[in-house]
Structure 1
């Protein structure tokens, strides 16, 4: 803590100025949790409360953990402190700071240090000031030298103004062509409790914690009646308030929520979550996860603004900032034909250069996908898959508690043919954020390939119930399950969706189901696609499928159905 007296006040002001610089810095501005962490420990230290800065208090006060928080089993404070230290070190080494003090957090503790900035504002040469009243010298120099400095500065300013007037596209060359959408902020009010019997627990704090697990969302607690503050508007131009009531329903409790966009307070969506009676943490966590799954959906109303921007202004030249970049990646997976993967990789690589972990994960995904399309059996494809794995590991090193990063590592492992390892990575992602619905869809698919059908079907049912208009890849598990059971008509109906998201496997399923039903129209429509696959041609159809599918009954249905469709045996088993 700064000393008392005038010098102490000056030092405190310098520390607060340094804090303001840091929280306005883009890498920290994009991470509200890290900004809150830094603000919490700095303010506590300035108040002389350094002894109270412990992992437990940070976990409870900053990250919304419960009073039963155990730092030995939950590493969130250690992990986030590591990220914060790395960012502080980067900022302090960059020369961006103008305050005479710099903030550091020593390794092994959470109490910040306030250090004089070497070569900072105090050591910098004075900046020439405008000339004063007639007969006075300009600050920063005397006589001719001062006048020369002032004249040079004035001339530079005039040249800059002329450039901006005559070449307005200069800003587009040096920055972004237009303002890009910022990450949505959700302010969560406490739900009104209409049960009057203590059967419902307060939901808002749990929901704020769950929403902040998404890489493309911010959330804060709004109390009994939320209000938008200037600090909120500084963070985002897409601010929402979530409110609701909990009351008794036919089967227990019914949580009803409405989402309003500010400042118009227009209702964008409403949600209802049924929960069993019983005021316990397990029920609270399950209810929060269900609601977070609907709110955090990349296709939901919270991200409508950025989707519209990408469809319109976002189509212009320029590099996406991290939030639009994440939205573009989600659109690339959801609606592949409408998003240029080269632009997505360009913005992700820029974010990776700034040590943004999710940007690094996106580069890993795109790199591994290129390798898989070339073929893991070819040297170039294998090298790209190996690079994708390296980058996915790097993303986890940057942010080990990001569910998105672990899911990316799982998908890269899956593309490399390591299906068992992929399941483990996805399992970790689901534990970190059980509300990421697209990750749940991938996890269901991998468990189906490995033969864990009860889990795969349970997950697939949840995601299809949660989505009003599910994307094509959500139909993969129902398609495979129908084929495995011999329900070929249903496999064909569901498989039409699957073909658009997984063309190679989808074509094999459609030919197998069509062959089993002796449906010449289906076989004739999809047999050419099956035979055109470079992967199947290089490896043989069944050997290529066995790299992914471990369930023997599913493989039997596919092979017998394709043979019934008229496929020669050697094409099924050997390269062609």
Structure 2
């Protein structure tokens, strides 16, 4: 399908042919931009509908955009679905139109391409917008360009259709688009989605990583194989296969789930790529660290929680906000570092909670679409005893995530400690299944939830999954739980370790416990367990 660019409107000339590459690039780039914007207030179902409408159009299947087809493929309705008696498609399409209108009013006024879905039709219209460029915009783009140029770039190539059926080209195209959307949530990396711009950039610089693969299909199964290569070494560094039995779920669901799994495996803060790049940069002089490398120092601390990693992260992030003040990520991660200082009672730091809030808000001001910024702000509100504000902030983060496993462990952590026991613990457990690099710190709120239910055996099981020898919370939960189970002798060693890490715990223990646990009856239960273990606190 070629695009008619003679006028502002871009219409398909022939709906049974494919887009040319220029038109495909414009549309898919705009789709990613809208889907990842905080101002696109669409539900998961409406986002699924939007992605289906666009993917069908760019693949030359816009003639199939009928109410019945959409109901079957997007909303999983049965074969006997009657669009005349059930208006679900028209209702959701109407809400999608509203979400698009709001996006272009709030955030998309200067986007080069406008996407509309006229009433009475599900066929999208693409409109070239005339975008004025001011001096201020040039400054913003230049500062962002400086940061992004020093960030790792990953190029996503279209997945090869090896099904033997040209009709399945849409699978590889749609999957590459889903991957681009998922990877764009990791805002410190540069995503090149096999566009004209990406191919031109390759002539100037080779993307550090290339993600590519194949699509296979037979009578019973669909398989997507995915591989990652590192241009620096020329080596294949990762690969995996993802398989679905036909009929187990829709193709769109399979694509989305697979894209999310790949993204979290590769680019989670403790995933394959950050770990690989940290090992390359960990011995670099402080003055030579890029903003992204400073972020990697924080990730290492977040993973190990060692005193050495804490000092490296603190030094690196403080250096980064001086040299890279336009990088929102370094601001809100420094905010989290100061939140940890306050929550864990580190000495030698003035007003850490105030600094945490200030830095997190600064990070949000620069990077309002980064879900991590909002969940860090929620964590700071929690420590500040503003539980209702914490819930609001984590709700904002969840809207930005659109069901992605990225940071879902941290979302569940804050939600559970805020008292959203059912949803918070469910999110943690789901994250543990989907993300092999989930933070073991999530076992703390799971432990708290077990105490709430007086399930002391379950609480002890959660402590067995913790290995955080540098945190006073580790011997604390061990000692308290063993005390509640009547095993005071086994608890003695953990009481001694707790006092080694926090000699003033008898006088400050209740305050420190209350910074994370906001429910008096649970705090009293923790204190009771410590008392039975032989440690009395004021």
Q: Is 1:240 the counterpart of 2:210 in the alignment? A: yes
Aligned to 2:336: 365
Cα distance in 2 between the residues matched to 1:80 and 1:332: 40
Segments of structure 1 that go 5 or more residues without pairing to the other structure are 1-46, 83-108, 116-179
Aligned to 1:329: 298
SS across alignment from 2:269 = coil
Segments of structure 2 that go 5 or more residues without pairing to the other structure are 11-24, 35-50, 55-95, 112-128, 136-148
Aligned to 1:264: 234
1:432-451 counterparts in 2 under 5 A?
A: 432-434=400-402, 437=405, 439-451=407-419
SS across alignment from 2:234 = coil
| 2:479 and 2:530 in contact (8 A); partners too | yes
| 2:506 and 2:535 in contact (8 A); partners too | no
* Aligned partner (choices 377, 386, 390) of residue 358 of structure 2: 390
Judged with a 3 Å threshold, the aligned counterparts in structure 2 of structure 1 residues 267 and 392 are, in CA distance, closer, same or farther, namely closer
Aligned to 1:111: 131
Cα distance in 2 between the residues matched to 1:332 and 1:555: 28
Q: CA deviation at 1:239?
A: 1.8
Judged with a 3 Å threshold, the aligned counterparts in structure 2 of structure 1 residues 341 and 50 are, in CA distance, closer, same or farther, namely same
SS across alignment from 1:112 = coil
1:79-478 counterparts in 2 under 5 A?
A: 111-113=131-133, 182-190=151-159, 192=161, 194=163, 201=171, 202-222=174-194, 229=199, 231-232=201-202, 234-235=204-205, 237-245=207-215, 247=217, 255-262=224-231, 264=234, 266-272=236-242, 277=248, 279=250, 284-312=255-283, 314=284, 316-337=285-306, 338-339=308-309, 340-353=312-325, 355-374=326-345, 381=350, 383-434=351-402, 437=405, 439-468=407-436, 470-478=438-446
1:267-320 deviation per Cα after TM superposition (whole angstroms, max 9, x unaligned): 5231536586454756654443333222321222223441221334x2x34242
Judged with a 3 Å threshold, the aligned counterparts in structure 2 of structure 1 residues 265 and 535 are, in CA distance, closer, same or farther, namely same
| 2:224 and 2:243 in contact (8 A); partners too | yes
Judged with a 3 Å threshold, the aligned counterparts in structure 2 of structure 1 residues 424 and 505 are, in CA distance, closer, same or farther, namely farther
SS across alignment from 1:243 = strand
Judged with a 3 Å threshold, the aligned counterparts in structure 2 of structure 1 residues 467 and 285 are, in CA distance, closer, same or farther, namely closer
Per the normalisation by structure 1, the TM-score is 0.61
Cα distance in 1 between the residues matched to 2:383 and 2:130: 40
| 1:253 and 1:274 in contact (8 A); partners too | yes
Cα distance in 2 between the residues matched to 1:243 and 1:76: 38
Q: CA deviation at 1:321?
A: 0.8
Per the normalisation by structure 2, the TM-score is 0.65
Cα distance in 1 between the residues matched to 2:134 and 2:286: 42
Cα distance in 1 between the residues matched to 2:286 and 2:438: 31
1:99-157 deviation per Cα after TM superposition (whole angstroms, max 9, x unaligned): xxxxxxxxxx8513489xxxxxxxxxxxxxxxxxxxxxxxxxxxxxxxxxxxxxxxxxx
1:143-183 deviation per Cα after TM superposition (whole angstroms, max 9, x unaligned): xxxxxxxxxxxxxxxxxxxxxxxxxxxxxxxxxxxxx9741
Judged with a 3 Å threshold, the aligned counterparts in structure 2 of structure 1 residues 281 and 447 are, in CA distance, closer, same or farther, namely same
Cα distance in 1 between the residues matched to 2:229 and 2:361: 38
For the aligned residue pairs, the C-alpha RMSD in angstroms reads 4.3
- The worse-fitting range, judged by mean Cα deviation, of 344-353 and 194-203 is 194-203
Cα distance in 2 between the residues matched to 1:517 and 1:475: 19
Q: How many residues align?
A: 421
Q: CA deviation at 1:205?
A: 0.8
